[in-house]
Structure 1
């Protein structure tokens, strides 16, 4: 047993280590003392320097104000308040600084480091300004809950105050966990739009068709991750060199996939009808998702349906172009996605010509549709444009030789940020269908609307375009692999999922509209067109929610699309003038997104209330024989598009009135056909501050197309001199009006 106070000699090595540590501590202590000594000597001068710089720039702002009141007044307007603020603010901040100095240093170090690191983590998926309040809220919750439990731990644990603190801490932690786990809340329940289904004596396009089908895959054989595109593929394809178009490919991506950008594979899953005959070809491509979670598998529900109804449906694999948390993202990947779609068409041309292949002479290469989701939706549009070009717009030394018969493009919640030659992508002479959900928390703006508006038609064609905006639909549930996760963990924990449609409901809408659209445009089944002109024709096949749709075709005659000038009284067509009376507001302007971005479409804003004894009007006056010269008859259809602005919480109605030269009138209530849907206010996030920073305004105007046959007015159309919008049904209103014109009623 060791004797007390007896000195024990330590080994020489330990003595050396201890003396080295002691010397290091001494140096650190000496350096810190030097810093403290320097700060004591310099703090007054440093403070004066900071104060001087503030006053100097306050003076600069005063000199540069230029109110027109004179330089002295300008200077004093800024300098005097700035000087007072500079003098008073140190006294306001001083008590908080004293409080912080009294706090435990370890506590401050842990809190500050935790907040900084959480912000760094969250900025990997969102911009700093979007997640700062979120970060403060998360750390604040942790401080409150942990502090309460810590108080209980260090106090007498049986005291009432300690137990109360423990309960507070546990409630905070449990409540936060339940809040993260919860689906969210229905903050803005939309008023119902009472719409009766219109008679529509055609087969439900979402029903399984008469064809049996088989499924097989093709691939280039180099995919390390999925054998069904490698050694288990039914058909082998040659890889393609995308080095001219794809940038940012790194060695980590090559290691993961087993190939680089010079040998991108052509991989796909095919659903093919059995039986004789040629079948239209539909290529489907996914959008951006983490590349390790394969996205192409999520469209089997469409592939199976379309094959049963007589289409060769193909889900393309472009997962290797997607984002990865550890290998980054690619440059110019929209162009690459689009170009690869056309290379797949090259491959199907070869399949169709290869004797011995089960695809030999089975592919109808004159009837092709491209379908894309998210970035794939924009890529499908870009591919349709590439198909018409001789040269790659971003590098003219690369030639294109495609020229396939692409008749239709379907975009599901597409992005719209990509340009060609610094110009927006604008389609021409192709059928187009756009689907988008109001609760899309990824592509949260209705950006596909710009793609829709940019599409133009030649007058001698038979094309049409239609959009369907679906209240309660999100981004991911159009793909079974993505589901209701419109973003990744952890940001997905803050998404409001309570108002969402069920996944099967959302996919039922997709099946109905995609199948019907393909039947109408690739198989010439004109009987399906009404469902794209007016969604109420399809209501018997759709889940209950609010729908908003637009329609336009190549035979549309424009009366006014508000793109010509800024004169409120003139329009697109000569011989038409515009007037308004008893309105609170009348102005032409651009349509804005929820994040206040320009949507590239102009219309007229109209606002009214019940402050006048007579209702407000917006009028179009036509020159003599306008309708006769324009060859417009009673068989044609008067059409326009309108959107409710943010204050419109209920579905609204108004009157369309026609007046002849002799004063005869005939009018129809808009609601007899279809009411204008209310403004749809959306809460995509569970938190208000994150909602505003990430998603912008709760409301985004969405246009609905209305169609009223002239024959319903029971007036000789060639005698009409005035068409009025009379706001007599809804006491107060604020709408956006656009696309006023006439559709050929003989279609």
Structure 2
């Protein structure tokens, strides 16, 4: 036989052999059908969960249908291909089952790692999820078998117990409870003024403005009432993916100025409030989520605008545009200029209605950083010709809700001559560090201009619930499944906090209504308005006179301005940088104290210092204290143990007056957060982002000088040469920020 005949015979025999191996693929799988089906099902659940967090913009039902179809085809194809390879290798294993298991494990792990949950966590969850599928398939196989009912039941107990254990076991950490700020309200009488979160007297008109080219929302296309400009952002964007152009209908050369407007009806001009969202998934729109604030503020006499910046947000398909933080601030300023143009144009709803010297900005997440950048715009945009005229607009207030605080061009915003409020939730699973506190430290309050700064840290608030479009999860799916939502306040309660504080802030900062200022100095003044949880608050205005500022201290004993310090009985007392939950430094430095039982700290003021600083009429002495004891334990049935602190003043003649801080307010315990549904996940999920449960946050404590005068009648505060802090009921660890007096207003 010639070679040409032999070659076809070899090929024929190879094909016959391959066919036989293909027929043998399911040789060991005949009892595993239900387990294979179970693997298909749980993998489908995982894929659809991931797809729900990775929208295409075609609609959720279409996304899920495409994903389920693709999964089914790939599942079968993977089983056959991998099973065939095992058959060719003569491996005596369940080949279809093994192929299905390998595919299911890989795709599950891929989905979890793509959600930035970390390789270790993703691997563990993949193993657990595959185990659930195998147990479920085993139970079905047993129930379908010819075994007796008793054997079916007995053999099914273990896999059923495993499934129930994995889904129902939720161990809690010891620090899950929070104190209640209103639990000890004997000293403070709640304000008897109008609840700032109640609807005002104005009827409200709503409409939108935009360029009329939005592909997805008719309110910015055919339904838009005012046609606005488009702006060219190509100088800031290196690459604008084609998918973005396809999705939105425009590119970086023609970004729209889209806004939702809530306008009070009536005569006269009204202060302007611009609100801007942060970085949510691009395909899930965010600008409508502040309607509750828009309605409230407009009813109380503000023109409120929610700015659309969705086209700058992250997409799983295109990432995020470059320079997005500068873009957010730049675009927000173009909205200010656009509203100014509307204000000057007859036949627009804005005509002659806007008080452009009383403008406030509210930003959430990255939007919270953007509004701070706008208030300090010259740092980044001093040579930006397209923003000519922005200097004529007067920004009076900035509100940052759970803001980011990243460096942009190696700089961060430093605010001056503007009021600032930051709100942040201790349960924030997205911006888990209290970055607004860092920005708070970079706000200067010069002179007697009525400006102030305030910070509110809310125990049971998270990131997303401040926006009604973002739901209760602080991560997109599937990551959000693993976040703990049991310790969070309701959506209505969290938005109530935002309404109270933001409305009161604007009344104080913009309308100069001082009757709400006490709320920022002590949350207990708002007891009748706010949900009952723990709040940690800071406040400062031009009436605060610092005696000690550790940021300018030369050493722990020789402080700025001629003040000397002595510590007795401490394990440690030293000046340190305040740190956030991640261990990164904040702007603030403070004096850290650690003691076992009792200790005392003395501040001495020389004659020149007393002459310069004690010649005023004081209202109260203020201490700013962060509870640093991250390992604090709870006393059985009595809540968290907290240390005690007394303040004593001594005059040049040796007369002393001593008051306990407890006379006004006990030291706040730290707020601990279990971010995930299982505390074992804290250390490994998202590369240990949630590892630290507690962030030490500064709380203001005020002792009115009248208490010292009650302790010692006619006590001469102006003659004080020593202030001492007596620490008791240790062990304890506190950090002290500025110590000073609030001066009586004229």
**TM-score, structure 1 as length reference:** 0.81
**Pair 546,209 (structure 1): closer, same or farther in 2 beyond 3 Å:** same
**Pair 247,673 (structure 1): closer, same or farther in 2 beyond 3 Å:** farther
Match of 2:562 among 575, 580, 605: 575
Q: How far 1:201 moved relative to its partner?
A: 3.2
Matched-pair contact (CA < 8 Å) for 1:410–1:434: yes
- Mapped pair 1:172 → 2:167: no
Q: How far 1:316 moved relative to its partner?
A: 0.8
Give me the whole-angstrom Cα distance separating, in 2, the residues matched to 1:457 and 1:103: 74
Q: How far 1:203 moved relative to its partner?
A: 1.5
Match of 1:120 in 2: 110
- Mapped pair 1:152 → 2:135: no
Match of 2:432 in 1: 444
| Higher mean C-alpha deviation, range 287-296 or range 647-656 | 647-656
Matched-pair contact (CA < 8 Å) for 1:633–1:717: no
Give unmatched runs, 5+ long, in structure 2.
1-7, 23-90, 633-639, 710-714
Q: How far 1:357 moved relative to its partner?
A: 1.7
- Mapped pair 1:734 → 2:733: yes
Match of 1:56 in 2: none
Match of 1:484 in 2: 472
Give me the whole-angstrom Cα distance separating, in 2, the residues matched to 1:723 and 1:248: 60
Give me the whole-angstrom Cα distance separating, in 2, the residues matched to 1:639 and 1:539: 21
- Mapped pair 1:378 → 2:361: no
Match of 2:514 among 521, 526, 540: 526
- Mapped pair 1:640 → 2:646: no
- Mapped pair 1:471 → 2:459: yes
Give me the whole-angstrom Cα distance separating, in 2, the residues matched to 1:647 and 1:660: 38
- Map 1:562-641 onto structure 2 (within 5 A): 562-565=550-553, 567-571=555-559, 573-610=560-597, 615-624=598-607, 626-641=609-624
Instruction: Report SS of the residue matched to 2:527.
Output: helix
Q: How far 1:556 moved relative to its partner?
A: 3.2
Give me the whole-angstrom Cα distance separating, in 1, the residues matched to 2:178 and 2:123: 28
Q: How far 1:575 moved relative to its partner?
A: 1.8
Matched-pair contact (CA < 8 Å) for 2:263–2:298: yes
Match of 1:36 in 2: none
Q: How far 1:482 moved relative to its partner?
A: 1.1
| Higher mean C-alpha deviation, range 148-157 or range 352-361 | 148-157
Match of 2:417 among 408, 418, 429: 429
Matched-pair contact (CA < 8 Å) for 1:184–1:498: no
- Mapped pair 1:188 → 2:152: no
- Mapped pair 1:705 → 2:700: yes
Give me the whole-angstrom Cα distance separating, in 2, the residues matched to 1:224 and 1:16: 61
Match of 2:229 in 1: 238
Match of 1:294 among 265, 281, 285: 285
Matched-pair contact (CA < 8 Å) for 1:389–1:400: no
| Higher mean C-alpha deviation, range 112-121 or range 269-278 | 112-121
Match of 1:210 in 2: 201
Match of 2:125 in 1: 135
Match of 1:225 in 2: 216
| Higher mean C-alpha deviation, range 112-121 or range 733-742 | 112-121
**Pair 17,539 (structure 1): closer, same or farther in 2 beyond 3 Å:** farther
| Higher mean C-alpha deviation, range 339-348 or range 616-625 | 616-625
- Map 1:261-272 onto structure 2 (within 5 A): 261-272=252-263
Match of 1:81 in 2: none
- Map 1:26-425 onto structure 2 (within 5 A): 111=101, 113-129=103-119, 131-132=121-122, 134-139=124-129, 141-142=131-132, 145-146=135-136, 148-149=138-139, 152=142, 157-158=147-148, 160=150, 162-174=152-164, 176=166, 188-193=176-181, 194-196=183-185, 197-386=188-377, 391=382, 401-403=389-391, 404-417=393-406, 419-425=407-413
Match of 1:743 in 2: 742
Q: How far 1:460 moved relative to its partner?
A: 4.9
Matched-pair contact (CA < 8 Å) for 1:130–1:690: no
Give me the whole-angstrom Cα distance separating, in 2, the residues matched to 1:297 and 1:632: 53
Instruction: Report SS of the residue matched to 2:702.
Output: strand
**Pair 328,579 (structure 1): closer, same or farther in 2 beyond 3 Å:** same
Give me the whole-angstrom Cα distance separating, in 2, the residues matched to 1:635 and 1:528: 21
Q: How far 1:204 moved relative to its partner?
A: 1.2
Q: How far 1:198 moved relative to its partner?
A: 2.5
Q: Deviations over 1:197-248 (max 9, x none)?
A: 5342322111111111111111111101011111211100111111112344
Matched-pair contact (CA < 8 Å) for 1:635–1:711: no
Give me the whole-angstrom Cα distance separating, in 1, the residues matched to 2:468 and 2:98: 46
Q: Deviations over 1:530-572 (max 9, x none)?
A: 111111111211111011100112343332232235621122x
Match of 1:72 in 2: none
Match of 1:64 in 2: none
Instruction: Report SS of the residue matched to 2:566.
Output: strand
Matched-pair contact (CA < 8 Å) for 1:680–1:700: yes
Instruction: Report SS of the residue matched to 1:459.
Output: coil
Match of 2:15 among 13, 21, 32: 21
Give me the whole-angstrom Cα distance separating, in 1, the residues matched to 2:350 and 2:192: 35
Give unmatched runs, 5+ long, in structure 1.
1-13, 29-100
Match of 1:539 in 2: 527
Give me the whole-angstrom Cα distance separating, in 1, the residues matched to 2:113 and 2:123: 12
Give me the whole-angstrom Cα distance separating, in 1, the residues matched to 2:694 and 2:541: 28
**TM-score, structure 2 as length reference:** 0.81
Give me the whole-angstrom Cα distance separating, in 1, the residues matched to 2:355 and 2:539: 28
Q: Deviations over 1:138-163 (max 9, x none)?
A: 34633762575387379763275553
Match of 2:722 in 1: 722
Give me the whole-angstrom Cα distance separating, in 1, the residues matched to 2:611 and 2:127: 66
Give me the whole-angstrom Cα distance separating, in 2, the residues matched to 1:260 and 1:484: 32
- Mapped pair 1:696 → 2:679: no
RMSD (Å) for aligned C-alpha atoms: 2.9
| Higher mean C-alpha deviation, range 407-416 or range 378-387 | 378-387
Give me the whole-angstrom Cα distance separating, in 2, the residues matched to 1:234 and 1:183: 54
- Mapped pair 1:680 → 2:671: yes
Instruction: Report SS of the residue matched to 1:204.
Output: coil
Match of 1:76 in 2: none
Q: Deviations over 1:380-426 (max 9, x none)?
A: 1112121676536xxx8987652121111000011112x23312222
**Pair 183,484 (structure 1): closer, same or farther in 2 beyond 3 Å:** farther
Give me the whole-angstrom Cα distance separating, in 2, the residues matched to 1:345 and 1:538: 33
| Higher mean C-alpha deviation, range 595-604 or range 207-216 | 595-604
| Higher mean C-alpha deviation, range 617-626 or range 407-416 | 617-626
Higher normalized contact order (CA 8 Å, seq sep 6+, divided by chain length): 2
Give me the whole-angstrom Cα distance separating, in 2, the residues matched to 1:244 and 1:287: 22
Instruction: Report SS of the residue matched to 1:423.
Output: coil
Q: How far 1:579 moved relative to its partner?
A: 1.0
Q: How far 1:116 moved relative to its partner?
A: 3.7
Matched length: 650
**Pair 130,382 (structure 1): closer, same or farther in 2 beyond 3 Å:** farther
